[in-house]
Amino acid sequence: MAEIDDTDRAILRALLADGALGAKEVGLRVGLSQPAAWRRIRRLEEAGVIRGRSLILDREKLGFGVVVFLGVKLAAKGRLDLETFERAVQAIPEVQLVQQVIGVHDYRLRVVARDLSDFERILRRRIMTLPGVGQVESNVMLREEKNAPPPL
């Protein structure tokens, strides 16, 4: 766990509000010089608190109308072949998220698709054909109601 102080928290809040801010603007907001802000941001990156930066795109404007959460259970004999399954599932470009979990499923996936028939094609041709796949439960996302950082 990284040691962070109140100034680091203020920096994280500023960057969470606008990830495009440079060190100078962050410094202005939290009362630091540009080099001091830059050093702190750099340290937060090195400590792994800031994992990276990404572009936020409007998924629907780009034609991806559907997000589906899948719960995947491996078939009994598939358990021998976790690595093959994991490698293959991560390589599917429409699969954005792969998490190994404990509970009623073995893996959670998030899949983006253009529409429901596109999703059905991805499910049948790419996911159901993965080595070791047993039961798959699909839940279509209606709306994202909250997406927040962990409490700082």
Partner 1 sequence: MHSLDDIDRRLLRLLQEEAGLPVTELAERAGVSAGACWRRIEKMERARVILGRAIDIDPRALGYEVRVFLRVVLDKAASHAFDDFLAAARALPEVIAIETLLGRVDIRMDVVARDLAHYQEIYRDRILALPHIAEIDALMLVSELKNSARLPI
Cα(86)–Cα(110) distance, integer angstroms: 14
Cα(55)–Cα(36) distance, integer angstroms: 25
Taking the complex as a whole, the smallest distance from the CB of residue 128 to partner 1 amounts, in Å, to 17
Q: What is the total residue count of the chain?
A: 152
Q: Using an 8 Å Cβ cutoff, are 114 and 63 in contact?
A: yes
Which residues, listed in sequence order, are joined to residue 71 by a DSSP beta bridge?
Answer: 108, 137
User: 101-130: which residues touch partner 1 (CB under 8 A)?
Assistant: 101-105, 108, 112
Using the minimum distance from each CB to partner 1, give the nearer residue, 76 or 148.
148
Q: Does residue 140 belong to the site contacting partner 1 (CB under 8 A)?
A: yes
Residues near partner 1 (CB under 8 A) are: 1-2, 4, 12, 15-16, 18-20, 47-59, 61-64, 69, 71, 86, 89-90, 93-105, 108, 112, 137-152
